[in-house]
Structure 1
Amino acid sequence: MIYPIVAYGDPVLRKETKEISEDYPKFPELIENMFETMYAAHGIGLAAPQIGLPIRLFIVDATPFEDDEDLSEEEQQFVSTFKRVFINAKIVEETGDEWAFNEGCLSIPDVREDVFRQSTITIEYLDENFKKQKETVGGIAARIIQHEYDHIEGILFTDKLSPLKKRLIKGKLANISKGKVKVDYRMRFPQAKKKR
């Protein structure tokens, strides 16, 4: 089942998320539906708040980057298999130089901006079988995780922009929350006028 993606301005994107346990209702189905939703929207990551659930869960699939010529051969090989489910994740360390990358977000269509993030992270999480994992990841995979992790912390990539950039996109963000944006995937807009 493909869920509508929650648009910028919905309070769920700012909520404090709760940890979940193995008895979370219909969990395997939820994961399957999240991947289906992400692929339908041509995304590489999706966090539970983006489908209206304030829980500490996100998924990533970096495989679309495997043919990216800007990546080293080693990094291309790594992302070609980098598909993960992150439950109750905690980034325990961020290291390396900050680097800029042009980011977008399924909840904020039509807005792309350079965001600076550190190059390497260490993250502890439970996988889809609720087994403990600890992984150190760098490059594009680290960036995808950092972006999705921010979602479960109630942070959006636009929060990381300079005051000037924020002012420049303010009107676009207001239009997104009202549904005044063209998208080719299902969305739920918090301030869209109801049709009578």
Structure 2
Amino acid sequence: MIQPIYVYDQQILEQPCPDVPHNSPILTNLIIDLWDTMRNAQGCGLSAPQIGVSYSVFIIDSKSVFQSIGTAFRHKYYEPDDKGITETFINAKLLQTSSEIWTAKEGCLSLPSLVRDVSRPWKIKISYLNQNLEKQECEFTGLTARMILHELDHINGVLLLAHLLPFSQKMLYFKLKSIKNGKVKVTYPTMKKQKLVA
């Protein structure tokens, strides 16, 4: 079911999420809601706190991005043997990051209309449970790694803004105020009142 996406200045977006119990009765519906909501918003990643649920669950679809961009961008954002993923990440833990750092533009469904350059490691290693609650330990690179790190930030209560210099954050005051007050037009439903679900 499509859920409203929580936008800037919502308390739940600034709080670290606990791991979700494997036997949680809400897990199956939560995953369905994440996919429905992300696709409706034409996003490529979404975390549980962005739909008002404080659990360590997020989804990534870098495969659709790979399929939609040109060859030149594929070489820039993906390794030669990488065609992206469509995956659910439950209770993910970052194990390792590479020393190679690269910068690219990032946006966020919780910060509509805001796109900024962010520097992140090219390669990461993480452990997580997939949708079938099977333990995984995988390495990811390029844009897929960037998407995962972006969603891991959400799980840890960190927004894209935290990667900007203080001066840059101050320059965004009026844009953030517009997002907070619901004056930025989006094609998906948003949540403007605080509401915590655990």
Q: Same fold (TM over 0.5)?
A: yes
Large movers: runs of 4+ above 3 Å: 73-77
Residue type of the alignment partner of 1:117: R
Of 80, 83, 90, the match for 1:79: 83
Question: Is the 2:30–2:48 Cα contact (8 Å) retained in structure 1?
Answer: no
Question: Which residue of 2 is the match for residue 189 of structure 1?
Answer: 192
Q: Deviations over 1:135-165 (max 9, x none)?
A: 0111010000000010000001111001221
Q: List alignment gaps of at least 5 residues for structure 2.
A: none
> SS where residue 46 of structure 1 aligns?
strand
State the number of aligned residues: 190
Q: Conserved in 2, the CA contact under 8 Å of 1:66 and 1:77?
A: no
TM-score normalized with structure 1 length: 0.91
From the two aligned structures, give the one with the greater strand fraction.
1
Contact 1:56 1:88 in 2 (8 A): yes
Please point out which of 144, 147, 153 is paired with 1:141.
144
Counterpart position of 1:58: 58
User: Among 172, 183, 186, which residue is 2:175 paired with?
Assistant: 172
Q: Does 1:28 align with 2:31?
A: no
Identity level (%): 36
Distance 2:81 2:34 in 1: 25
1:71-117, Cα deviation, whole Å (9 max, x unpaired):
2397376234x011111100011113211111000000010000011
Q: 2:154 aligns with which of 151, 154, 173?
A: 151
| TM-aligned CA deviation for residue 26 of structure 1 | 3.5
Q: 1:89 aligns with which of 88, 92, 104?
A: 92
**TM-score normalised by length of structure 2:** 0.90
| Mapped contact 1:176–1:189 kept (Cα < 8 A) | no
- What is the letter of the counterpart of residue 178 of structure 2? N
